[in-house]
Amino acid sequence: MRRLTPIAIVALTVIAYTPVLAQLPDAKQVTQERARAEIEVPQLAALLELKPGMTVADVGAGFGASTVVFAKWIGNGKVFATDIGQRQLHAIRDYVAKEALTNVAVIEGAAAATNLPPACCDAIFMRDVYHHVTAVDAFNKSVLASLKPGGRLAVLDFVPRPGSKLPDRVAQNRGGHGIPTSIVVDEFKAAGFTHLRTVDVWPPDQKDGLFLVLFRKP
């Protein structure tokens, strides 16, 4: 067997890790997401009727900008951050450690469940996540079980663009990459939620292209 030279080993290592590094946020993206979260979190907290000392879950937390800002806002409360991606979970843990936060619990989620403790949260939000959910019925029932009675849920997502590609394994009724607000309402009502309101443009006066649908657990 031909031995690889040190240069070849280094080259192969770079090739092997390049796709991983490419998917991590760069400094500019981290700064942009943090700035967006600083604006959005206080508005979202008001809709969710959160107060410092309560517990909120960031389901599908991505690289953790909203988690970190919420953790600072919630004070002596608690933030659960979930994601199904190992890179995202690693990035969130690093971000939380860098910010010296002790009130964040990072949990690996699943396709059909939040994996949050039962009745742990006063509120849950999902930003740019729900249109990727494939096990809709099981997942939504899991979200319901994770909330305390009277707890609130905010689903932030976007309407499909005409001709956009449907993500893998999601229901055909989405109509493309995204999800109509009417389907969000119908699916969470079927899981047992009460629909409170729909905000067509979220955050208000911003250009993120998102909507917000607000629910309450009876």
Give residue 29's domain range. 23-216
pTM score: 0.88
Range of lowest pLDDT (61-70, 105-114, 132-141, 198-207): 198-207
* 183 is a domain residue: yes
Mean pLDDT of the 192-199 span: 98
Domain count, the chain: 1
Mean pLDDT of the 169-192 span: 96
* 17 is a domain residue: no
> How far are the Cα atoms of 10, 37, 61, 159, 206 from residue 15, in angstroms, in the given order?
9, 34, 28, 37, 39
User: Domain containing 108 — which CATH number?
Assistant: 3.40.50.150
* 127 is a domain residue: yes
* 5 is a domain residue: no
* 48 is a domain residue: yes
For 12, the enclosing helix (H) or strand (E) is: helix 6-22
State pLDDT tens for residues 111-146. 999 999 999 999 999 999 999 999 999 999 999 999
> How far are the Cα atoms of 65, 130, 149, 179, 188 from residue 196, in angstroms, in the given order?
26, 18, 15, 18, 11
* 207 is a domain residue: yes
* 2 is a domain residue: no
